[in-house]
Homo-oligomer: A and B are copies of this chain.
Amino acid sequence: MAGNARDPGVSVASRLLALLAVFDEKTPALTLSELADGADLPVATAHRLVRELVGWGALVRGDDGRYVVGRRLWKLGLLAPDQADLREIASPFLHDIYGATLATVHLAIRDGDEVLYLDRLAGHASVPAVSRVGARLPLYATGVGKVLLAYAPREVHDRVLRNLARITPYTVTHPGKLDSELRRVHREGYAQTVEEMTLGACSVAVPVRGEGESVVAALGIVVPSIGRDRARLVAALQVAARGIERSLRR
Report A's interface with B, CB cutoff 8 A.
Answer: 1-5, 11-14, 16-17, 20-21, 23-25, 28-29, 45, 48-49, 52-53, 56, 58, 60, 68-71, 73-84, 88, 91-92, 95-96, 98-99, 111, 116, 120-124, 126, 132-134
Nearest chain B CB to A103 CB, angstrom units: 11
> Is A17 a contact partner of B95 (Cβ separation < 8 A)?
no
> Is B77 a contact partner of A78 (Cβ separation < 8 A)?
yes
The answer for the CA separation of A60 and B81 in the assembled complex, in Å, is 10
The answer for the CA separation of A232 and B144 in the assembled complex, in Å, is 38
The answer for the CA separation of A80 and B75 in the assembled complex, in Å, is 10
> Is A74 a contact partner of B71 (Cβ separation < 8 A)?
no
> Is A123 a contact partner of B96 (Cβ separation < 8 A)?
yes
The answer for the CA separation of A76 and B99 in the assembled complex, in Å, is 31
> Is A52 a contact partner of B13 (Cβ separation < 8 A)?
yes
Query: Nearest CB to that of A62 among chain B residues?
Result: B81
The answer for the CA separation of A126 and B96 in the assembled complex, in Å, is 12
Top 5 A-B pairs, shortest CB-CB distance: A77-B77, A3-B3, A78-B134, A12-B12, A74-B80
Task: List B contacts of A83 (CB < 8 A).
Answer: 71, 74
Query: Nearest CB to that of A27 among chain B residues?
Result: B79
Which of these, B56, B68, B79, contacts A25 with CB under 8 Å? Answer: B79
> Is B69 a contact partner of A81 (Cβ separation < 8 A)?
yes
Task: List B contacts of A120 (CB < 8 A).
Answer: 91
The answer for the CA separation of A78 and B23 in the assembled complex, in Å, is 11
